[in-house]
Amino acid sequence: MRSDGSALSLRRWWRSAAFAWAGVAHAYRTQANFRIEVACGVLACALAVALHAPLAPIVLCCALVLSLELVNTALEALTDLASPDLHPLAKIAKDAAAGAVLVASLGALVVGAVVLGTALWRLVGGM
């Protein structure tokens, strides 16, 4: 009985993960900003590895920016569904969601500059 329940919940988990992955794939296909952020994230992680800089803060910042871009995509879709015509509240919803991505991206830029810049400085100073 217990193993049946576990198998069932594992299958449910895979199903949910597949739906979530479909959401990520949709954002990657349709949102140019998401693709740019993925490319910047991969580049920042590669630089962190190459420079022997701490990877965790870079990965955390990438996850934050990409997660907020996914939430922004979801809010855009919901706003278009709820308000196909122009409406001041729809504008607030879209602009605030986009603002969340902007704030996270600026924070990620600062963290990246400090973490990678420090590692680069050490490397150059050690030469």
Tell me which residues touch ligand ATP (CB under 6 A): 31, 76, 83, 86-87, 90-91, 94-95, 98
Residue 76 known to be catalytic? no
Q: What share of the chain is helix, strand, coil (3-state, %, to 5)?
A: 90, 0, 10
Residue 53 CB, shortest distance to ligand ATP, in Å, is: 31
- CA nearest to 76, candidates 99, 98, 100: 98
Query: Is 18 or 32 the residue whose CB approaches ligand ATP more closely?
Result: 32
* Nearer to ligand ATP (CB atom), residue 97 or residue 116: 97
Residue 51 CB neighbour total at 10 angstroms: 17
Residues involved in catalysis? 69
